[in-house]
Amino acid sequence: MGSTDLHLIQRRVRRTYELARLRRALMGILPVVLVTAVAAFVATRPTAPLAFGLVTAFAGAMMLWHGKDPQKAFLPGVIAGLVPLGLALGAGALHTCGAGSCSYVCVPACVLGGVVAGFAVAGVSLQRRAGVWFWVSASGLALLTGAMGCGCMGSAGVIGMGLGFGAGIVPGLLRRVFGKDTRQPGDLR
């Protein structure tokens, strides 16, 4: 068989590999679709959960399709994001959402959820001695998942969650940056 034919076959096989990974990725985001559906059902205004859910599902599919660190960050990211999402939806359910009074409870809930999610992402990343892409991917997905709940408050909820997340992740980041000197060379990734 000529090298051109072989090259052609290789390209076709490569396409099969990519399509198979894409199929797996679409199967893998089913939990996100489920969470989005539940969030849209529970939230008083389903637009934000649906919009952020769509972005989360797309980002998750890309991460699972790409593989390596982003694939490994998918589950920790989504699970960490469920905390601010759950707290925001809980706060929304406890109060009948009139614009002002509801946000008073929801924003602190989003901040608190963000802090917990930040701690969780940093904890898992440190435990796995993960690379930068794991941190970035898990953080992004946690924020997107949380935004499904906090987005119903408008930008205040999302910003609050982001600030909380930043605060939660800082100790872990510091430990990663300054803890490097004390590690053995074999421990570094």
Q: How far lies 70's CA from each of 36, 66, 77, 176, in Å?
A: 21, 7, 10, 18
Among the listed ranges 2-10, 46-54, 118-126, 172-180, the one in contact with another protein (CB under 8 A) is 2-10
Give me the 102-121 binding string for another protein, x by CB under 8 A, dash otherwise: --------------------
With binding defined as CB under 8 A, does residue 66 bind another protein? yes
Span 138-167, contacts to another protein by CB under 8 A: none
Q: Which is nearer to another protein, 74 or 106 (CB)?
A: 74
Give me the 67-96 binding string for another protein, x by CB under 8 A, dash otherwise: xx--xx-xx---------------------
Angle at 35 between CA 32 and CA 38, to 5 degrees: 150
With binding defined as CB under 8 A, does residue 27 bind another protein? yes
Q: How far lies 63's CA from each of 34, 132, 166, in Å?
A: 18, 14, 22
- Separation between Cα atoms, residue 96 and residue 2, nearest integer Å: 71
User: How many amino acids of this chain bind another protein (CB under 8 A)?
Assistant: 24
- Separation between Cα atoms, residue 83 and residue 91, nearest integer Å: 12
Nearest-approach distance from CB 56 to another protein, in angstroms: 15
With binding defined as CB under 8 A, does residue 6 bind another protein? yes
* Dihedral over alpha carbons 183, 185, 188, 189 (to 10 degrees): 180
Amino acid at 27: M
The only residue of 64, 88, 144, 161 in contact with another protein, by rule CB under 8 A: 64
The only residue of 17, 41, 58, 104 in contact with another protein, by rule CB under 8 A: 17
